[in-house]
Amino acid sequence: MRELFINIKSLVQVRENQTVLKGRAMQELPCIDNAWMLVENGKIKSFGEMSTCPYDVTENHTDCSNRFILPTWVDSHTHLIYSGNREQEFVARIKGKSYEEIANSGGGILNSAKKLQETSEEDLYLQAKQRLEEVIQLGTGAIEIKSGYGLRKEAELKMLRVAQRLKAEYPLPIKVTFLAAHALPNEWKNNKSGYITHVIEDILPEVAKENLADFIDVFCEKGYFDIDDTKRIIEAGKKYNLPAKIHVNQFHAIGGIKLAVEENILSVDHLEVMNEEEFEFLQQASIIPVALPSCSLFLSIPYTPGRKIIDHNLPLALASDYNPGSTPSGNMNLVVALACIKMKLTPEEVINAATLNAAYAMQVENEVGSISQGKKANFILTKKIPSIGFIPYSFGNHQIESVYLKGNKQ
């Protein structure tokens, strides 16, 4: 299979051997104007300026006049697999209840866990599949998916098996994260440390044996899991070669960033609440901060200080956090728009954060995240738009004409 794309207004995010970008380097977005690109066997074969195109343009080709090609979005943080919805909690919040109050009265993550435990694996798969197909149409071409709504051995394994089935059936890179330490189940209400032991000694070995996960995660937060719990989870993950990506500093700064640096984990996600010293801790590590602005929008909580993170010469990735409670949307087009509007990032910075840096945050930087020879031909062909900045500018909308995964139009 071979297809030539010609007259591309601009081929965006063209890179050679670049993995992660930090600080000022995030301002640069290398492009080739008036370009061609050849896709062969699902991969990017070659590209260049139209004037140098060595191929016969009468062969199987797509004319991309007035349209841009950029790598698909990489969504490095989602909870795509869940059962039903939490629309009633949404309404309760509109009427004045806080996310915390709802969680404390049995709603929140425990509400989703109860639903998921009662849902068959097949039904769960069908619900997740529909969401995955929707986000692919919105330009997502690599995705991380977490467990964490099972909170019991069988239900956690069920979620992970569904994720593995999606991974086997869809043509985009999928990474799977084990997040049994997402909330304390009621049956362990008076024995948090016992639950962590159960996760580490009874569930994790099974997850590892069946090769069901790539990463490990924990919700490090007041009222959920503290620093000692988080440390136990991260270190248990290390024993099974599962790098950690953690939920941290969403509502309170309780010391999770310092721990993440000491443990040298892969990513710290959320960071809506940051202490001054935590920027400096991050400068000592190669951890990637991941901001989730549509979660801030939906919960009306502060936005991650993305501008300040980049200005501290740190890298930044953007992700959706798609989940039923805090972010029932996996629309990365909205994520990049919000990062411009609310975090004061430039269009170039948000595209870097949602492609190349996001790929690093889920360890798929060798496969996707840029237009590079040999990477997967996962890319977005835009509508006719005047500039690349038009994508975040037209917030609430998207500018995608077609999405290609492994060179095939979806």
Q: Which of 256, 292, 103 is nearest to 183 (CA)?
A: 103
DSSP state of 375: S
Closer by beta carbon to ligand NIG, 53 or else 110: 110
Closer by beta carbon to Fe ion, 250 or else 333: 250
Closest approach, Cβ 339 to ligand NIG, in A, equals 17
Closer by beta carbon to Fe ion, 39 or else 81: 81
Name which of residues 98 to 117 contact ligand NIG (CB under 6 A). Answer: 108-109, 112
Closer by beta carbon to ligand NIG, 39 or else 109: 109
Number of residues that bind ligand NIG (CB under 6 A): 12
| Type of residue found at 389 | G
First and final CA of the chain: distance in angstroms?
15
In 222-231, which positions are buried (b, 16+ CB within 10 angstroms) versus exposed (e)? eebbeeebbb
Name which of residues 321 to 380 contact Fe ion (CB under 5 A). Answer: 321
Name which of residues 268 to 307 contact ligand NIG (CB under 6 A). Answer: 295
Closest approach, Cβ 195 to ligand NIG, in A, equals 16
Closest approach, Cβ 321 to ligand NIG, in A, equals 5
The residue with tokens 């986000």 is 135
Closest approach, Cβ 50 to ligand NIG, in A, equals 44
Secondary structure E strands in 85-214:
140-146, 174-181
Q: SS3 for 261?
A: helix
Given ligand NIG, Fe ion, none, residue 295, with its beta carbon under 5 to 8 Å by kind, binds: ligand NIG
Q: Which of 91, 89, 79 is nearest to 116 (CA)?
A: 79
Given Fe ion, ligand NIG, none, residue 109, with its beta carbon under 5 to 8 Å by kind, binds: ligand NIG
DSSP state of 131: H
| CA distance readout (Å), 369 to 63, 72, 315 | 23, 7, 15
Q: SS3 for 269?
A: strand
Closer by beta carbon to ligand NIG, 89 or else 367: 89
Given ligand NIG, Fe ion, none, residue 326, with its beta carbon under 5 to 8 Å by kind, binds: ligand NIG
Binding mask 233-262 for ligand NIG (x = CB under 6 A): --------------x--x------------
Closest approach, Cβ 171 to ligand NIG, in A, equals 27
Closest approach, Cβ 89 to ligand NIG, in A, equals 8
What are the tokens at 81?
């697999």
> How far apart (Å, rounded) are the C-alpha atoms in residues 371 and 69?
9
What are the tokens at 16?
């050679």
Q: Which of 325, 347, 369, 407 binds ligand NIG (CB under 6 A)?
A: 325
Closest approach, Cβ 296 to ligand NIG, in A, equals 10
Q: Which of 257, 247, 242 is nearest to 210 (CA)?
A: 242
Q: Is 156 in the site for Fe ion (CB under 5 A)?
A: no
The residue with tokens 């996001």 is 358
Q: SS3 for 42?
A: coil
Which range in 42-50, 183-191, 254-262, 313-321 contacts Fe ion by CB under 5 A? 313-321
E strand or H helix that includes residue 89 = helix 87-94
Closest approach, Cβ 292 to Fe ion, in A, equals 7
| CA distance readout (Å), 223 to 70, 100, 185, 226 | 41, 9, 12, 8
Number of residues that bind Fe ion (CB under 5 A): 1
Given Fe ion, ligand NIG, none, residue 320, with its beta carbon under 5 to 8 Å by kind, binds: none
Residues engaged in binding ligand NIG (CB under 6 A): 108-109, 112, 219, 247, 250, 295, 321, 323-326
